[in-house]
Amino acid sequence: MNKEISDYINSPYQTKNTFYQNSSVLSYELDRSIWFLLFFISDVFAILCSVFTLYHLLTKRSLRHALRNHSIILLLLFCLVYELIDIPLHLQFFITGVVRPATHGLCLMWRFIDWGFYHTIEILLLFTSFERHILIFHSQMLATQRKRLFIH
């Protein structure tokens, strides 16, 4: 038998089912702490930007009533809920390594917000892109109240 193959088979890290079972736990902990820092810093800035933008869009009447801002306001609201609920749950998992409290209800809520809101945001962003295109390049489609209601 070839020496390299023999050394590989007789490796101290080999078990019946897996190779290299004794991987470094320290590298996993380092990865979790890096993920935590990246998520935490990004989430803080995202929340600040969302709140700042929503405040200005909602407090100024001209911005609030502008047709072009309605979908942006809705998009920012969904993103803010996602940033305030989903990302802190991820952060808590990165710190502890487990989901606490590990209840069925929390897991269902987390999955709903994680998947449901994420895909809702995607679809809303797609709609907003189409609406912006129509508002900029095809403004004649919004000439009457009926057309505006249908397009918007």
pLDDT, tens only, 18-30: 444 444 444 555 6
**Percentage of the residues of the chain whose pLDDT score is greater than 70:** 76
Residue pair 75/67 in contact (Cβ under 8 Å)? The answer is no
Residue pair 53/83 in contact (Cβ under 8 Å)? The answer is no
The predicted structure's pLDDT at residue 56: 95
pTM of the model: 0.70
The predicted structure's pLDDT at residue 152: 62
The predicted structure's pLDDT at residue 53: 96
The predicted structure's pLDDT at residue 7: 46
Helix, coil or strand: residue 60:
coil
**Dist. CA 118–CA 112, nearest whole Å:** 9
Q: What is the per-residue pLDDT across 115-149, written as a single tens digit (0 to 9) for each?
A: 999 999 999 999 999 888 888 787 777 777 777 66
The predicted structure's pLDDT at residue 3: 53
